[in-house]
Amino acid sequence: MSEKLKTQSGAVYELTPNGAYFADDTAKVIFVFPNGKTYEQIESDIEGNDRLLILDADGEAMETKVGYTCLDGITKKMDFVIGTKQVEAGTDESGNTLYTTEDVHGAAMIVVLKKADIRAELAAAQKQIANLNETVDMLVLADLEG
């Protein structure tokens, strides 16, 4: 079993090995494409989450990541390494079983998230306030003239 990603909506996804990367403004999570879910359902689960939890193999929270609310990209990849398994590779001279590790391939989702750009939001809010002030000025002037 491996680590999992839990969204605010309660959806839980099994991460691939080394499937979670978090930087200051960008996050990349790679998880096994779950049976019974559509691409659109997964996109809906992921988009707009203010809080993401990384769970251990037992489902216990290990880490909380906040602010990665903007979906920057989502890709379904087929034949992706989604895990590993041990297989018998024979025996040594003492008769002990030897094992080797093989990759397990399957469908995976690669999701890139970004934190909201506060500067862009501030500029948009300032523009909206300026437009509202202009509208109020026009309404007051029209009321005084009327």
Asked if 42 and 74 sit in the same domain, the reply is yes
Distance CA 145, CA 126 (A): 29
* 3-state SS assignment for residue 129: helix
Q: Which amino acid is at 12?
A: V
What average pLDDT score do residues 125-134 get? 93
What 3-state DSSP class applies to 138?
Answer: helix
Could you tell me if 25 and 81 lie in one domain?
Answer: yes
Q: Are 98 and 137 in the same domain? A: no
pTM for this predicted structure: 0.73
Are residue 62 and residue 127 in the same domain, yes or no?
Answer: no
Together in a domain, 96 and 74: yes
pLDDT of residue 106: 95
Residues 145 and 93 in one domain: no
Based on the structure, what is the number of domains in the chain? Answer: 2
* CA triple 121-125-126, angle to 5 deg: 120
Q: Are residues 100 and 130 in the same domain?
A: no
Pairing verdict, β 26-32 and 51-55:
unpaired
Tokens of 28: 């990349």
Given a cut of 90, is residue 12 above it in pLDDT?
yes
- Please tell me the predicted confidence (pLDDT) of residue 1: 54
- Share of residues in the chain with pLDDT > 90 (%): 66
Q: What is the pLDDT of residues 45-88, one digit of tens each?
A: 988 888 999 999 899 999 999 988 888 999 999 999 999 999 99
Check whether residue 105 and residue 42 sit in a common domain. yes
- Is there a single domain that holds both residue 134 and residue 68? no
Shared domain for 85 and 103, answered yes or no, is yes
Instruction: Evaluate if residue 33 carries a pLDDT over 60.
Output: yes
DSSP string covering 1-65 = ---EEE-TTS-EEEEEEEEEEE-SSEEEEEEEPPTT--HHHHHHHHTT-SEEEEE-TTS-EEEEE
* Model pLDDT, residue 7: 93
User: Whole domain around residue 79: which residue ranges?
Assistant: 4-115
pLDDT for res 82? 93
- On whether both 132 and 85 belong to a single domain, the answer is no
Which of 34, 96, 49, 47 lies closest to 74, judged by CA?
47
- What average pLDDT does this structure show over 124-145? 90
Average pLDDT, the chain: 91
- pLDDT band at 142, cuts 50/70/90? confident
Nearest to residue 4, comparing CAs of 39, 40, 32, 35? 32
Q: Say if residue 134 is in the same domain as residue 86.
A: no
What pLDDT, on the 0 to 100 scale, is given for residue 73?
92
